[in-house]
Chains A and B, each alone.
Chain A
Amino acid sequence: MILRHGIKLDQQKAASLRHKIQDLPTAENQKKTEWLPLRKGELNSNAIIAAAQAAGIVDEFDGVPLFRKLKKLRRLKPDMIVACCFDEDPCTTSAMATLRENTNAIIAGLVLAGKACGAKENKIAVATKHEAKMIQKINPQADLILAGEMYPARALLKRKLFANRKNAAYIGAQACAALLAAIDDGEPQTSTVVTVAGDGVEHWRNVRARIGTPLKELLEFCGLSEKTSLVVTGSSITGRAVTDLNEPIAATTRCVIALKKAPNYKEYPCIGCQRCARACPRGIVPWKIQQEMQNAKPNLVRLTNVQKCIRCAACTVACPSGIDLTGAVRKAAQLKKSGDFIDIT
């Protein structure tokens, strides 16, 4: 069997990458950014972490404050630090656009982050060879690795580097750029790049918006259609439907998708095609978990690997029968954690 993990998704990145990142106009009465005092003295690990803390930088991929992440990494001593400049989601391009426009800032920020946690190698992970060529043109010194276009790219990259015996740490592209801004200019992280996509908006754009701006403003800036019936933040696979457009943009909001019609899946019984097991980057066999969870009393021994699930939902996307396999695995993980042998609801 050809060991190829993950699933190939239909990429729709071209539309939002055609334009440069645009700034969302801010309201008049909004408070001006308070710049931080510039740091003086030697730039060592402690100073970088303190600057990240003062600037309030949050890693946009996992929502962890950067200073906490760097402190943890300093303790773990990784060999390599990787800036994730690719987007797993088929219509998100915020990380790619940030890299294209701030290549040098991201490289400098990555070097700083590497210095803070003591990593010797710095690498920038991009999705495709085409993208890598483009970045090489901007900065020939950029040290690039390919993450590929299979979903979930981040987990698959982690797997690949782990198999190559590399102890790697991962950091977001925007966090890298924000770290450099914080150290060079004393600028706190107040804005984030968000991709707006979907058939419910007129213009697919990458927009730099202030953190805390309501989603409504962002969507209206891109020409929100009246017929939109579903707004998703995060990603089209693991994201969350928003019912109130006054919800603010967070540092972790990389993508907002407005759809006119919610996709409708017909659910069929499992046909045993094994696509879910092939898609899973964590070695879970989701159909088996689902089968076991359908029993009145699931046997915990048979729920193998469920605690390793990273909720990437690749299995659910891969399933041709439209079964919610991620839900089954999550339930199994909860069951296993709780040690509840008698009753589950």
Chain B
Amino acid sequence: MTEDIRRQAGELEAAVLVVLWAADRPLTPPEVQAALTEPLARTTVATTLARLHAKGTLDRVRAGRAYAYSPAVEDRAALAAQRMHTELDKGDDRQGVLARFVSRLSSADEIVLRELLEQAAEPGERS
């Protein structure tokens, strides 16, 4: 039970971070709340944002009467990301360590995929 609650709290923090990374500017708690796919209480969102800020995961700036939040990025983080990619692409090890969401596409794959995407984008979802 506590395991379940902890997992849910973790997933909520992750969802908030996703929203802030996807946005191109700092967001206020109501904006974050609106961008989340799951309906959540405003106070829950505000508490999560404050907690992530306290941990140093988020930066915040004053926006009128509220705060607007954005992901905190260390200067060296971008460099580290680059280094990680080269590490990950090294050798055969990665297959056992990580499962990548999408593998690389051939040019033929790309054509097929665009056709399939048109099918998937057709109206009539959730019939």
| A in complex with B | no
Chain A interface residues (CB < 8 Å from chain B): none
